[in-house]
Structure 1
C-alpha cells in the first residue's frame, strides 16, 4: 500500500503535522520507533509560546484542550546563585494564558495522539532507510524488516534523523552534557525542595554550570544539570557522588536537589546543528523540527517543531496537486524564520554555561523581564 504522505517520527512535530493535515482532509501515516505511547518517559514540561507552539495548536483545533491542561502558574521563574541568593524572580499574572503557560510534555503528546484518527500512528517502526522509487516517491524500510511506500516523506525523527542524510550531510557538535533525574511526590516527601522550586522553574547558576528544577503536573520535580562537555565519558555522570563533586561549595538547600533524586541520573550529550544549516530541495521529501534545525534546549525546539508542522500542513493543503512546490515554499520560509532563532538559542546556551553566567543572566532578564525558558 502506498501512503500519499509518510511522517517518520511521532513526537510533537510529527503529530501536530498529522493532526492539521487531518483537519484539511489529508491523510498521513506516522511511523514511530517507540512500541506504544507509554514506552518511555516523555521528559519535563514545555512553555508554549503564543507565536509558535500555541499558534500551531490553534490551527490544530486544540487550543481549548490545551488550556484545560496547561498551567499558567508554571511560568514562575526563580534564578539563584550558588549561595542560594535570589537573583531574578519572575511571577506571571495569576490565571493568565497571555504568556507562555507550561504543559507537561507527556500531556501535550497525549492530547495530540488522541486527536488523530485511530491507526494514524504505527508503533514500533523506526525508519532505517528510504530509497527513491523508479517513478515517484519513496520505499521505506524499518528496523523490524517491514516496508512501506509513500509519495511524500517528511522527516520528523529528531536529532539522529534517518531522513536528514537524504537531504544534507550535517555534522552535529556537542555543546553541553545534560544530566536528568526526578524527585517524586515532592510536596509530601521533600517540602523544603517544593518551597525552593515553587510552581514553575528554578535555575541555580554558577560558573560553567547550571542546576535547574522544574515542577510537573503530576507532583514531581524534574532536575536538570547542565555542564560543559569535556574529555570524560557521558556515562561517568550516572553517579550521584560525581555530580555532587561538580557543585562542591554550593548551598546545601541547592545541592539537595541532586541528593533527593529517586532514580539513577540519566546523562546525555547535547548536540546541535550548524546555525546556518540548510539544504537544496529534492522532490517528495523534507524535514521538520530537530531533524531540520537541531538547537540547544533553551525553549524553542518543541515550539518551532510545532510551527514547522503548522506551516507545512498549510502549504500542502493549499497546493494539493503540487506537493513539491509546497515543500519548497515551506523550506524557504522555514530557513528564514529559523536562522535568527538558532542564533539566539546558541547565545542563550553559551550565556547559561559561561564563567560569568549569573551576571549575564541578570543583565538579560533586566532587559527582557517577561522572558522565560524551559528545557525542550
Structure 2
C-alpha cells in the first residue's frame, strides 16, 4: 500500500526524512513555504556529529558526498578573554573528522537531490481525523489530504497545534547575528583571529562567537541576557543604530573583538526560545513532529543533528512497518522523545554556562567537552 505522506518544512529534518524515505522507495511530498531554494539566506555552518547528523546522512546514502564538502578544520576553536588574551587554542588532528563543519546551504542542496519539493506552499493549519485522512490548509486557500503529515516546520510550527498546545518560551537570552564577506582579503587581521574554525569570547552574561563558513564568509553571533523587548528603543533595520547599541553593550572588550561587530553587515535578531525539556504529546493518528517543531532547544550544536536523525529514523520506521503506519509512527515518537529529553537537559544547562555571570563557566564547559 502506498500511503499519501507529506512533510511540512524543507529544513534539515524534513529533507532528511524525505530523502531517506525516497531512497527506501516511498513517495513523499515536501511542502515548503519558501518560493525557491535560494529565496532567503540558508544560514551559517553546522557541525555534524558522529552517531547523529552523520548517521542520518549515512542512512540517506550521502556519506561520501558529505565527506567531499565538509571542513574538518572547521572544528578548531580559539577562546579569548574580553581583553583579548588567548585562553584556549584548540585545533583538531588533521585526520580527525569527528564533527566536521558544512554550510547549511551546501547541506540543503545535498539533501534536495531530485526530491518532490513543492515550493511556495505555505501551510496555515493541519486538521487530523477529517474524512479519509489529514487535511492540510494552505495560505492560498487550497486544501490537500494525506494519510500522514509530518511537521518539520521549526520553532513556530503550524503543524504542532494538531498534537500539542505547547508553544516556545523565551529563555531570557537573546542573540544577534551579523556577517563579514571576503574576510581573508578585506579583513585579514580578523581572518587570522577567527582562524579555520571559530573564536569565542565570554564576558559577564554575554558572549561573542565568530565562525568561519566556506568561501571567506564569517558569521558573528552575540548572545546576552536581556528582556525580550530590549531593542524597543533601537530600530533593528537601521544597521548603524544597531551596531552602536551592540558596541555599547560590549564596551571595554578588546578592539579586535569589537571589530567583528564594527565591520559586520546587516544585523538579525534571534531571541532564543525553547520548548519544555520533557515536551511530549498523546499520539494523534496521521500527524507527527520532527526537529525543532518537536523539541526546540538552545542552539548548542545538537538541534540540527537530532532533527536529521529524527527524520532518518522516522522514514526507516515507516518503511519497516508499511502495513500499520500509525503503529510505526507511534513507536518512533517514543524513541525520539526519550532521546530529545536527554539533549534538551544538556543544552539548557550548557546555555546557562555559556551566558553566565562567571565567564570561567564557559571555558570549563569547553574543557569538559574536549575531555569527553
TM-score by length of 1: 0.94
- The unaligned stretches of length 5 or more in structure 1 are 372-376
2 CA distance for matches of 1:170 and 1:247?
A: 35
Q: What residue number does 1:127 align with?
A: 123
Q: What residue number does 1:21 align with?
A: 21
| 1:2-61 Cα deviation digits (max 9, x unpaired) | 971010101111000000001111110000010000000111100000110000000000
2 CA distance for matches of 1:164 and 1:56?
A: 23
Q: What residue number does 2:39 align with?
A: 39
- The unaligned stretches of length 5 or more in structure 2 are 237-241
> C-alpha displacement at 1:367, in angstroms?
2.7
Q: What residue number does 1:374 align with?
A: none
Q: Helix, strand or coil: the match of 2:270?
A: strand
Q: What residue number does 1:347 align with?
A: 349
Q: Helix, strand or coil: the match of 2:356?
A: coil
> C-alpha displacement at 1:177, in angstroms?
1.2
Q: What residue number does 1:367 align with?
A: 368
Q: How many residues align?
A: 364
| 1:111-134 Cα deviation digits (max 9, x unpaired) | 1112x33xx100011110122354
Q: Helix, strand or coil: the match of 2:141?
A: coil
Residues 297-312 of structure 1 mapped to structure 2, 5 A cutoff: 297-312=299-314
| 1:288-332 Cα deviation digits (max 9, x unpaired) | 000000001010110000010111111100000101001110010
Cα 1:237–1:60 change in 2 (3 A) is: farther
Cα 1:326–1:234 change in 2 (3 A) is: farther
Where do 4+ consecutive residues of structure 1 move more than 6 Å? none
1 CA distance for matches of 2:311 and 2:195?
A: 33
> C-alpha displacement at 1:267, in angstroms?
1.0
Q: What residue number does 2:253 align with?
A: 250
Residues 137-216 of structure 1 mapped to structure 2, 5 A cutoff: 137-175=133-171, 176-216=173-213
> C-alpha displacement at 1:149, in angstroms?
1.3
Note if contact 1:237-1:265 (Cα within 8 Å) is conserved in structure 2: no
| 1:62-116 Cα deviation digits (max 9, x unpaired) | 000001100000000111110111122221111432x1000001100011112x3
- The alignment yields a C-alpha RMSD, in angstroms, of 1.5
Structure 1 range deviating more: 238-247 or 264-273: 264-273
Note if contact 2:128-2:162 (Cα within 8 Å) is conserved in structure 1: no
Note if contact 1:88-1:365 (Cα within 8 Å) is conserved in structure 2: no
Note if contact 2:353-2:365 (Cα within 8 Å) is conserved in structure 1: no
> C-alpha displacement at 1:344, in angstroms?
0.3
1 CA distance for matches of 2:33 and 2:156?
A: 12
Matched, 1:53 2:53: yes
1 CA distance for matches of 2:362 and 2:96?
A: 25
2 CA distance for matches of 1:237 and 1:227?
A: 18
> C-alpha displacement at 1:366, in angstroms?
2.7
TM-score by length of 2: 0.95
| 1:197-246 Cα deviation digits (max 9, x unpaired) | 00101111101001110001121110011111316344637310000001
Residues 283-298 of structure 1 mapped to structure 2, 5 A cutoff: 283-298=285-300
Note if contact 2:163-2:282 (Cα within 8 Å) is conserved in structure 1: yes
Q: What residue number does 2:270 align with?
A: 268
Note if contact 1:174-1:229 (Cα within 8 Å) is conserved in structure 2: no
Q: Helix, strand or coil: the match of 1:264?
A: coil
